[in-house]
Structure 1
Amino acid sequence: MNKIIAITGCMLVVLFSSCKRSLDVVPPSSGTTKIFYLNQEDFLQGVAAVYNGLRAYPDRLMNLSETRSDNLYAASVLGTQPYDAINSFRRNAVSNVYVEAAWNDDYNAIFRANYFLEQLELKGNIISSEVLRNRLGAEVRFLRAFYYFDLVRYFGKVPLVVKTVLPGEAVTIPRTPVAEVYAQIIEDLKYAMEVLPASYTGADVGRATRYAAGSLLAMVYMARSGATYSIEGPGLASNEWTEALRLINEVINSKVYTFNTNYASIFSYANQNPNVNKEAVFDVMHVSGLNPVLGASFVSLTVPDSYFTTVLQKPAQLGGAGRPTSFDLYRTYDTAVDVRAKTNFLLYYTALGIPGNRPYLRKYMDSTKVPVNIRDWGINFMAIRYTDVLMLKAECILQGAAGGTQEEVDSIVNLVRTRAKIAPVSGVTLEQLYQERRRELVGEGSRWFDLQRSGTLVTTMNNWIKTDDDLKQIEPVVKEFVLYPVPQSQLDVRPGLYTQNQGY
């Protein structure tokens, strides 16, 4: 599956001619349309091209969720870095490369999805069976929902486009209210849940399943149920915790997934096949050593280059000076016994020559598996992990979802704590659950979105700044910073079409 994704992605760059600086998308010419999607294999490659949009997702979580949150103290000490504006809540992030990439990458994938669905409607009868035809359409609708959910959580209102459009039309489409974008996301995911299989075999392993769609839909309901902050963001205070709990229970009761009792093995390079790693509800899959490169680049974004060059005697990676872990996070671990501390962090070492003594996030890094190409690490990224799903169940119950009990909450949290080799607790509160999620899921991109939902983002971040901002670089956090700015390049396409998010 991975080979098809990358090869098809390269092919469709030409077909779509996606403009990197705007929403303008030049659809295929009539000649190209006739050449492409001539047989079933073309449709299989077309789906793979939509999956290809996931390759940037782990990096985006590291750059925009982990770096923005109180998990990392990514204050640059070696000149200005792209992550400075993200970590420090600077209002000039409107032109930040990571913010631009988030908007552009998601929309490029969405346009591929829209074009595929249109071609499926026109020419889908050339596919060998109705079951396969419907499944391919459901996979693409799952992915379109995935990309739109990503956009909503970062930007709030975004243009809702569910068909291919000409450049002239693209620059007339305004930002759509969040509730309407959610309605499309929910429609796509409900369809995917009805059509997608529970699992796959052979080369199809790793594709979206019914339970991946159900898990994502639960996350959507939870995001909608979150705090509004009186802005047009992802939280609508919709109180859909019961709906989310029902979906999560379906995933749990399916028995397709298993809680791994060994924390380190979840992220082991020997445990990457989704058929083996039963913690993986939905993976972004990577394979190293291929040409074109199909490996991962997110692995070393937080680790200083000097660790690779001086300690491992390997080429520099992508981390620069590194993005240290916050003291506030690290001190919440009982480092004498909590196995997650050893798995998740690289302790400070003097060879760095960098002021301070903060550890670095190294959750996905195996020092024996350093690739020749720095963007070619051979590890998958669990976009949806079973432990996360279990802990989301606990959150729904604590938020008042019907049908859950405190005993279930305590049982879930203590399952996680027992695996970490730390003492069980009772009467778990919502705040305690969020702290356990923070320790368990650091580096997996959940923290910023947890803070969004909780309603405590502004208070939590400002309290953290007081204790962790040694270099005094971080701006005070206001409610408008729950969202990122609309990229300046989008505002410039047609002045007046979009209104910038407040605070920027």
Structure 2
Amino acid sequence: MNKLKNTIIAIACSVAFVGCHNLLDVEPYSVLTDDNYFQDINDVKSATTGVYDVLSDKSSGLYWGELIIFDMLATDEAYTERQNEREISEFLYNPSTKYVEKPWQGSYKLINRANKFIEKVEAMDSTMVDQDEKRKYLGQVRFLRALNYFNLVRHYNEVPLRLHSATGVDDTHVPVSQPEDVYKVIIADLDSAIGALPNHYGSGDLGRADKAAAIALKSKVYLTIAGYPLFGGETGQTEAYTMARDLARELIDNQAEYELGLWDYYGDEFETMNDNGKEDIFCVQFSSSVGLAPAFEGANIHKETFKSTTKNGIKYDGKHTVRPSTYLKNTITKNDARGNLISNVFYINGKKYTNKESSKKPNMQMFHKWIDQEILDGALNAQVSDQDWKVFRLAEMYLIAAEAENELNGPTADAYAWINTIRERARNDSDGNPVEGAVPDLEGLDQESFRKAVLNERMIELHAEAKRWFDLVRTQTFEEQIAAAQQAREFEFPNQVPEGYILPIPYEEYVSNDSIDYVQ
């Protein structure tokens, strides 16, 4: 267990936040807003962990559940047969849907904590804390604020921009800002973080945002700005693609400096023991051993992807909420190692079992990258696991660089080299040896064909990592991709994509924030 997880355990009972019903989550007087609290570096460290905690907090609706489930189910790569979640995969969500409301609430909860932290820590002088250390912790929190504003602006487009801590309900009556203004804040936070953070943390601080994480996020920000709905905005599309490519290339070309690398076999990246490993740039930390409060629980994703079963008198819990679509399964070619992680077969202590398929149950496939083998082998009927959620990994940087380069200059040698590096790894078996004829290098494509190829490569490489919804929105390919998924198996996607990709602002936000006009 890394130091960040240990810190969460240690402060679970001593650092508490008080919430309220407003979706912008006004948190009144608490230990972290007390002027007597921010006195030394230990206070700063504890407060930083309090900001990180929101990412994995069960009640926040972020990486524990609602955020990632929505971004998988509202796409062509996954679907569900669970009634409560069908409104997502059938595109029937509305301003009162919890998968619309909770990520909004959780994002602003973290942002408010981040704002409090920044205000208090910036005011600490050299007699209270070493200024270099202070900048590092401010850099981490600015990264976290940027990440959450990035999730908000991509989902909802126009959102309230709050840069000061809320001390009362009146402070939450904030009008929405244009996306360009939100992105300016995101980029400013990331520039500050890049200038303050170390390239990489040692083993005692794994899980904290470092310079590589800030660079990766900034690269993704510019790739998004270049697409729908801004198409470059004030930055300009050419400059946005250039920034996305060059930032991704910084990590690709300097892997030793940032302690990054690709595993030889795709599946190794998703072994729990390799969490925070060489391919991971930033992960949300989870630990099933933390049970001091509801907020400090392990990951829920195993339960959401595994189908419950009883073997040898032992029940293995699972909801099987998120299932791979037939379209995704059919898209992955023979001997592509990434297809090994999509299957209706599973193992318990080396013994093979199969979720049988039939006309009544035609798709019993599972996303194996999120199935915790330790739970199965240990006969643990666990609700949660130790799996960390991978927000950014090095493989995505190769695909960002390839996509941006193609948009700028067509399929150049660099663009091919980057995308084919990912395809080369995909042809390796579990021993890291290439399978003859599997996943051949791309070649001879025009710009449009390469554009489609890299979007397809992102779906396969990053499947079930909550990336696809954003890709379909920014590339304006939602309708055609859902149509293709319907053709593969219609009952998985019975409805058309709704008009407009952007999510509605939650209804409760209109009720609590009189600075926003309700739009039906």
Shorter-chain TM-score: what band? 0.7 to 0.9
Matches within 5 A, 1:439-450: 439-450=460-471
**Structure 1 CA distance, aligned partners of 2:103 and 2:315?**
30
- 1:251 is the counterpart of 2:261: no
Matches within 5 A, 1:239-278: 239=238, 240-255=240-255, 256=258, 257-272=260-275, 274=276, 277-278=277-278
Mind listing any 5+ residue stretches in structure 2 that lack a counterpart? Answer: 57-61, 346-353, 428-437
**Structure 1 CA distance, aligned partners of 2:407 and 2:422?**
20
Q: Retained in 1: the 8 A contact 2:343–2:368?
A: yes
The one-letter amino acid paired with 1:104 is Q
Match of 2:171 in 1: 170
CA distance 1:154–1:359, shift in 2 (3 Å): same
The one-letter amino acid paired with 2:338 is R
The one-letter amino acid paired with 2:119 is E
The structure with more strand, counted as a fraction of residues: 2
CA distance 1:499–1:418, shift in 2 (3 Å): same
Match of 1:432 in 2: 453
- 1:369 is the counterpart of 2:375: yes
SS of aligned partner of 2:392: strand
**Structure 2 CA distance, aligned partners of 1:201 and 1:173?**
40
Q: Retained in 2: the 8 A contact 1:178–1:234?
A: no
Please say which of residues 138-147 and 464-473 is displaced more in the overlay. Answer: 464-473
The one-letter amino acid paired with 1:280 is D
CA distance 1:31–1:411, shift in 2 (3 Å): closer
Q: 1:5: how far off? A: 3.0
Matches within 5 A, 1:149-298: 149-228=150-229, 238-239=237-238, 240-255=240-255, 256=258, 257-272=260-275, 274=276, 277-292=277-292, 293-298=296-301
Match of 1:359 in 2: 365
CA distance 1:459–1:125, shift in 2 (3 Å): same
The one-letter amino acid paired with 2:146 is A
- 1:69 is the counterpart of 2:75: yes
Q: Retained in 1: the 8 A contact 2:38–2:120?
A: yes
CA distance 1:435–1:311, shift in 2 (3 Å): farther
Mind listing any 5+ residue stretches in structure 1 that lack a counterpart? Answer: none
Q: Retained in 1: the 8 A contact 2:269–2:279?
A: yes
Q: 1:412: how far off? A: 2.2
| Deviation readout 1:429-449 (Å, 9 max, x if unpaired) | 110111111111101111111
SS of aligned partner of 1:296: coil
Q: 1:470: how far off? A: 1.3
Match of 2:435 in 1: none
Q: Retained in 1: the 8 A contact 2:357–2:363?
A: no
Q: Retained in 1: the 8 A contact 2:19–2:25?
A: yes
Match of 2:351 in 1: none
- 1:417 is the counterpart of 2:423: yes
Match of 1:343 in 2: 341
**Structure 2 CA distance, aligned partners of 1:238 and 1:169?**
38
Q: 1:391: how far off? A: 0.8
Aligned residues: 480
CA distance 1:158–1:352, shift in 2 (3 Å): farther
Across the aligned residues of Structure 1 and Structure 2, the Cα RMSD in angstroms comes to: 2.9
Q: Retained in 2: the 8 A contact 1:228–1:235?
A: no
SS of aligned partner of 1:382: strand
**Structure 2 CA distance, aligned partners of 1:234 and 1:23?**
27
The one-letter amino acid paired with 1:259 is L
Q: Retained in 2: the 8 A contact 1:224–1:235?
A: no
Please say which of residues 235-244 and 158-167 is displaced more in the overlay. Answer: 235-244
| Deviation readout 1:351-370 (Å, 9 max, x if unpaired) | 89952235222212133434
Q: Retained in 2: the 8 A contact 1:235–1:452?
A: no
**Structure 2 CA distance, aligned partners of 1:432 and 1:229?**
23
**Structure 2 CA distance, aligned partners of 1:432 and 1:10?**
50
How many percent identity over aligned positions?
A: 25
Q: 1:467: how far off? A: 4.0
Q: Retained in 1: the 8 A contact 2:194–2:214?
A: yes
Q: Retained in 2: the 8 A contact 1:226–1:237?
A: no
| Deviation readout 1:408-461 (Å, 9 max, x if unpaired) | 222222222222222222135110111111111101111111112212123322
SS of aligned partner of 2:323: coil
Q: 1:294: how far off? A: 4.3
**Structure 2 CA distance, aligned partners of 1:302 and 1:213?**
30
- 1:483 is the counterpart of 2:502: yes
| Deviation readout 1:363-386 (Å, 9 max, x if unpaired) | 121334347473431222221010
**Structure 1 CA distance, aligned partners of 2:63 and 2:75?**
17
**Structure 2 CA distance, aligned partners of 1:471 and 1:250?**
40
Q: 1:11: how far off? A: 4.5
Q: Retained in 2: the 8 A contact 1:154–1:484?
A: yes
**Structure 1 CA distance, aligned partners of 2:32 and 2:460?**
54
**Structure 1 CA distance, aligned partners of 2:49 and 2:418?**
36
SS of aligned partner of 2:370: coil
Match of 2:134 in 1: 133
The one-letter amino acid paired with 1:25 is V
Q: Retained in 1: the 8 A contact 2:472–2:478?
A: yes
SS of aligned partner of 1:301: helix
Q: Retained in 1: the 8 A contact 2:375–2:382?
A: no
**Structure 2 CA distance, aligned partners of 1:39 and 1:339?**
49
Q: 1:236: how far off? A: 9.1
CA distance 1:268–1:29, shift in 2 (3 Å): closer
Q: 1:300: how far off? A: 2.8
Q: Retained in 1: the 8 A contact 2:160–2:177?
A: yes
Q: Retained in 2: the 8 A contact 1:413–1:433?
A: yes
CA distance 1:168–1:467, shift in 2 (3 Å): same
Q: Retained in 1: the 8 A contact 2:25–2:105?
A: no
- 1:57 is the counterpart of 2:59: no
**Structure 1 CA distance, aligned partners of 2:127 and 2:8?**
21
**Structure 2 CA distance, aligned partners of 1:9 and 1:174?**
34
The one-letter amino acid paired with 2:442 is V
SS of aligned partner of 2:104: helix
**Structure 2 CA distance, aligned partners of 1:32 and 1:397?**
46
